[in-house]
Structure 1
Amino acid sequence: MPAMRITFVKGQKSDRIHVQRPDGSQVSTELPHKGPTPHDAVHVFVERGLGFTRGFWGLIAEGHHPEAIAEMARQAGHPSAKRGEPPTAEFVEAIQAERIVEAFEADQWSGGTGDPQGVRDMAESGCWQSHVPMPGLGDEQVTAIRCGIADFTKEWSALPLGGSQSLDWEIA
């Protein structure tokens, strides 16, 4: 099956994502700056690296709008400061992805060269707080995800405002 094309467009205060699904449907949304790498780009590397099919990008591939996923999370029982209950089974992978993405972002902000165990520890803590199991995350996976994020970030940083960078999401 053909890949879904994800294009990130660099903006001044926020960036844009344009998605072209294999069925021809398209979706776009804005995302706020959250660090040196667009948050949703980090999702690509984490979810591909872990073989996730029901994380953020898997849900987009299924036809969901990016802005609808926050409401899906709430309905699925996504833990927050106000309520902490285990999520529904079909949303576990999306929450795992979010917690692991957060760990890789923290890792990147601190230089991204530390022991892979530090990434696992952060991700495991986030998963535990969100009532989801921590998936396996080996040293080689941490290294590959870090390298993907670093390569993307290097190119992203060099882009002028309005420049874009695309990634493919292979659909199983």
Structure 2
Amino acid sequence: MHLTFEHDPRGESRTLIRRADGAEFELTSYSRKHAVPHDLVHAVVERELGIPDGIYGCIAAGAVFSSMTQTGGKKRRDAKVRSARILEVARGIGISETLVGVFFWAYERGRAPQAEVRKAWGVSNPGACPYGDERITRTADVLGEVGATWQASAEPLVFPWPTNLLASDGQSSVRRARGRTGRVARA
């Protein structure tokens, strides 16, 4: 998947998305009051922390959100069903939203996010936070670099998305459960 973040003349931003299947979308961001677009913070946090079923991992797998407009490529005949299937099993979107809020807060205030990330994790997830201080610091550093680049130039910002960072399509467990007849095996 290929992401390009563009400055919008109205002070907003928009994300141009070209998926591996050839579908192209535009995602408009509404974060005028912030130094860095919310959607760009999502991309940084999800990529750096390796959240496969966050917003962009879901999009890479075939999900389409209501805030997206298809601008090119063929529309899949099963696009709505596939999108719903992906979003039904995605658990990382809520985690991503929570962590993006923390990194956004830390970036805007010039603060270190480690303790806040651990606290935010504990509010909605059982067990210890899986991200150590080094990884959290690296994510904050990358956000700082990307944010500085965004603010310094009106040029589009190209953001590489890893090919292996995508959500499950909800079908792999069904495929494994199928017998030779092609039907789902029942216990």
Residue 148 (1) aligns with residue 142 (2)? yes
For 2:51, what is the secondary structure of its paired residue?
coil
Relative contact order, higher structure (CA 8 A, sep 6+): 1
CA deviations 1:119-147 (Å, max 9, x no partner) are: 3224433xx2xxx4474121011111001
TM (norm. structure 2) is 0.69
Aligned 1:96-135 pairs, distance under 5 A? 96-112=95-111, 114=112, 116-125=114-123, 128=124, 132-133=125-126, 135=129
Which residue in the other structure is 1:40 paired with?
A: 39
**Does the CA contact (< 8 Å) of 1:5 and 1:169 recur in 2?**
yes
Which residue in the other structure is 2:2 paired with?
A: 5
User: Runs of 5+ in structure 2 lacking a partner?
Assistant: 69-83, 165-187
Q: Select the structure of larger CA radius of gyration.
A: 2
For 1:152, what is the secondary structure of its paired residue?
helix
* Cα distance, 1:42 vs structure 2: 1.2
Distance 1:59 1:9, change over 3 A: same
CA deviations 1:94-127 (Å, max 9, x no partner) are: 1111111111111112213x362233224433xx
Aligned 1:26-105 pairs, distance under 5 A? 26-33=24-31, 35-67=34-66, 90-105=89-104
CA-based RMSD of the aligned residues comes to 2.5
Which residue in the other structure is 2:71 paired with?
A: none
Which residue in the other structure is 2:152 paired with?
A: 158
* Cα distance, 1:52 vs structure 2: 1.5
**Does the CA contact (< 8 Å) of 2:17 and 2:26 recur in 1?**
yes
**Does the CA contact (< 8 Å) of 2:106 and 2:113 recur in 1?**
no
For 1:16, what is the secondary structure of its paired residue?
strand
TM (norm. structure 1) is 0.74
**Does the CA contact (< 8 Å) of 1:46 and 1:100 recur in 2?**
yes
C-alpha separation in 2, matches of 1:68 and 1:169: 20
Distance 1:36 1:115, change over 3 A: closer
19, 22, 28: which one aligns with 2:20: 22
